Amino acid sequence: DIQMTQSPSSVSASVGDRVTITCRASQGTSSWLAWYQQKPGKAPKLLIYAASSLQSGVPSRFSGSGSGTDFTLTISSLQPEDFATYYCQQAYSFPITFGQGTRLEIK
Output the smallest distance, CB 24 to other proteins, in A: 16
Could you say whether residue 80 binds other proteins (CB under 8 A)?
no
State residue 82 phi and psi, 5-degree precision.
-85, -10
| Beta-strand runs (E) in 26-101 | 33-38, 45-49, 53-54, 62-67, 70-75, 85-90, 97-98
Could you say whether residue 96 binds other proteins (CB under 8 A)?
yes
Each residue 20-59 as x (binds other proteins by CB under 8 A) or -, in order, gives ------------x-x-x-x---xxxxx--x-----x----
Could you say whether residue 11 binds other proteins (CB under 8 A)?
no
Q: What span, in angstroms and rounded, lies between the C-alpha atoms of 35 and 14?
A: 21
From the list 31, 22, 26, the residue with the least C-alpha distance to 49 is 31
Positions that interact with other proteins (CB under 8 A): 32, 34, 36, 38, 42-46, 49, 55, 87, 89, 91-92, 94-101
